[in-house]
């Protein structure tokens, strides 16, 4: 476990340093993916290539799932889940909140997670059953916060269809909570929850690479992370908060369960 964590930390630091050195300006050419708002910069691709190369140099045969390159098969029961830049739109606009996210999954269970936020000089890490840390500091999420006083982070996917429904979810949540934050990086939202900077996080329509590493940081800080109505967290829905607040927010979100649309 420690070996996985150290390797993930080293690789996330190296990718973050490369990205800091080569940060783009808005004049850089970008390509679009699933929709005109879903962008990929040349540096997303370069960061993922670097991470894949370093992982395979250290652990040939491991599998890798990356946002830009998809699934790379292998014989190993170890899979690395990589978001080379989470918060690509922030990155493109020169905003500080973007991150390199690397999770290590063994037999389908995330055992180590690292989120590097280079501009802020913050490296979050977690090991299953051992805890979550920011630098050397152990992280504990906020507890005992009632829904009406909760600061809730959320995010929005890129398709128009997703956004239409996400707007409806915001409309249901906003009148019930202290306020909502949309920071632009799911990985940082979940790490912020672990650090007590927000109280809860939810997103409808998210990707595995966005929450794999930071989800472990959040749960190792004491938070609960799951989907709706007893289902595990999945690309359909991610809800995260300390027990108590989790259930209160769940009651607001459950009527908007995407399974009901199926
Ligand atoms: C996005 C961010 C954003 C979330 C989107 C993700 P990307 O990831 O995490 O906060 O709301 O759903 O797609 O595209 O910047 O890697």
**Residue 73 domain-assigned?**
yes
- Contact, 86 vs 43, CB < 8 A? no
**Domain check: are 7 and 128 in the same one?**
yes
CA distance to 15, 125, 146, 218, per residue, from 25 (Å): 18, 29, 41, 32
Residue 160: its pLDDT value, please?
A: 82
What is the whole-number distance in angstroms between the Cα of residue 85 and the centre of ligand 1? 9
Tokens of 178: 């202290």
Query: Rounded to the nearest whole angstrom, what is the distance from the C-alpha of residue 247 to the centroid of ligand 1?
Result: 25
Q: State residue 195's pLDDT score.
A: 98
CATH number, domain at 194?
A: 3.40.190.80
- Retrieve residue 201's tokens: 């996080």
Let me know: does 156 contact 182? Beta carbons within 8 Å.
yes
Does residue 83 have a pLDDT over 80? yes
Query: pLDDT confidence of 28, banded at 50, 70, 90?
Result: low
- Show which of 78, 112, 138 is a domain's final residue: 138
Query: Counting beta carbons within 10 angstroms of the beta carbon of residue 129, is it exposed (0 to 12), middle (13 to 18) or buried (19 or more)?
Result: exposed
Q: Is the CB of 184 under 6 A from ligand 1?
A: yes
Among residues 215, 213, 239, which one has the least CA distance to residue 227?
239
- Clarify whether residues 124 and 8 are in a common domain: yes
Provide the terminal-to-terminal Cα distance of the chain, rounded to the nearest Å: 39
| The pLDDT of residue 196 is above 90 | yes
Does 122 belong to an annotated binding site? Answer: no
Domain that holds residue 123: 2-138
Q: Is the pLDDT of residue 18 over 70?
A: yes
Q: Which of 87, 100, 191 to mutate to test the pocket of ligand 1 (most atoms within 8 A of CB)?
A: 87
Does the beta carbon of 66 sit less than 6 angstroms from any atom of ligand 1?
no
Look at residues 230, 232, 235 and name the one whose alpha carbon lies nearest to residue 219: 232
Give the domain CATH number at 28: 3.30.540.10
Assess whether the C-beta atom of 68 lies below 6 angstroms from ligand 1: no
The total number of structural domains in the chain stands at: 2
Q: What is the DSSP letter of 88?
A: H
| Mean predicted confidence (pLDDT) in 206-221 | 96
Among residues 138, 165, 187, which one ends one of the domains? 138
Spatial contact of 162 and 255, defined as CB atoms under 8 Å apart: no
Please identify every residue annotated as catalytic. 67, 83, 85-86, 88, 210
Asked whether 185 lines ligand 1 (CB < 6 A), one says yes
Mean per-residue pLDDT, 96-104: 98
Considering 138, 156, 188, which residue would you say is the last residue of a domain? Answer: 138
Q: Span 222-234, mean pLDDT? A: 95
Same domain for 189 and 93? no
Residue 154 has what pLDDT? 98
Least confident of 100-109, 181-190, 233-242: 233-242
- Whether residue 216 is contained in a domain is answered as yes
In a domain, residue 65? The reply is: yes
Does any ligand 1 atom lie closer than 6 A to the CB of residue 87? yes
- Average pLDDT of the chain is 92
Domain assignment of residue 164, yes or no = yes
Q: Answer yes or no: do 119 and 163 share one domain.
A: no
Q: Give yes or no: residues 12 and 132 share one domain.
A: yes
Distances (CA, A) of 101 to 143, 165, 215: 26, 27, 11
How much is the pLDDT for 260? Answer: 61
Whether 141 and 152 have beta carbons less than 8 Å apart is answered as: no
Q: Has residue 35 got a pLDDT over 80?
A: no
DSSP assignment string, 14-65: HHHHHHHHT---TTS--EE-SSTT-EE-HHHHHHHHHHHHHHHHHSTT-EEE
Out of 170, 185, 212, 237, mutate this one to test ligand 1's pocket (max ligand atoms within 8 Å of CB): namely 185
- Please indicate, yes or no, whether residues 189 and 89 belong to a single structural domain of this protein: no
pLDDT in tens, 124-176: 999 999 999 999 899 999 999 999 999 999 999 888 888 888 899 999 999 99
Same domain, 116 and 153: no
Whether residue 22 lies inside any domain: the answer is yes
Which pLDDT value is given to residue 74? 85
Nearest CA to ligand 1 atom 12: 157
Q: What is the interface pTM, i.e. ipTM, of the complex?
A: 0.96
Question: Would residue 262 count as lying in a domain?
Answer: no
- Residue 85 assigned ligand-binding role: yes
- DSSP of 93-158, one letter per residue? HT-S--EEEEEEEETTEEEEEEEEEGGGTEEEEEETTTEEEETTEEP----S--GGG-EEEE---S
Same domain, 151 and 124: no
Q: Is the pLDDT confidence value at 38 over 90? A: no
CA 1 to chain centroid, in Å, comes to 20
Tokens read off for 248: 């209160």
Torsion of CA 88, 108, 10, 33, to 10 degrees: -20
Q: Which residues of 95-110 are buried (b: 16+ CB within 10 A; e: fewer)?
A: eebbbbbbbbbbeeeb
The pLDDT of 199-223, averaged and rounded, is 96
């Amino acid at each position: 476990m420690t070996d996985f964590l150290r390797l993930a930390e080293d690789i996330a630091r190296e990718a973050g340093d490369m990205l800091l050195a080569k940060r783009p300006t808005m004049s850089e050419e970008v390509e679009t993916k699933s929709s005109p708002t879903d962008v990929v910069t040349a540096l997303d691709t370069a960061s993922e290539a670097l991470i894949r190369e370093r992982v395979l140099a250290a652990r040939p045969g491991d599998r890798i799932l990356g946002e830009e390159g998809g699934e790379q098969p292998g014989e190993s029961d170890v899979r690395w889940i990589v978001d080379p830049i989470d918060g690509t739109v922030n990155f493109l606009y020169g905003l500080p909140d973007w991150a390199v996210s690397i999770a290590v999954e063994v037999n389908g269970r995330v055992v180590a997670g690292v989120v590097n936020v280079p501009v802020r000089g913050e490296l979050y890490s977690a090991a299953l059953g051992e805890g979550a840390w920011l630098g050397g500091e152990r992280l504990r999420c906020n507890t005992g916060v009632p829904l009406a006083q909760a600061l809730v982070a959320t995010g929005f996917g890129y398709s128009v269809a997703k956004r239409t429904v996400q707007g409806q979810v915001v409309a249901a949540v906003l009148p019930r909570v202290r306020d909502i934050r949309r920071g632009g990086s799911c990985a940082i939202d979940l790490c912020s929850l672990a650090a007590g900077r927000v109280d809860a996080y939810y997103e409808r329509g998210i990707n595995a690479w966005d929450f794999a590493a930071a989800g472990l940081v959040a749960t190792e800080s004491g938070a609960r992370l799951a989907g709706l109505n007893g289902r595990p967290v999945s690309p359909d829905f991610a809800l995260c908060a300390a027990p108590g607040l989790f259930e209160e927010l769940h009651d607001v979100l459950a009527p908007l369960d995407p399974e009901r649309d199926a």
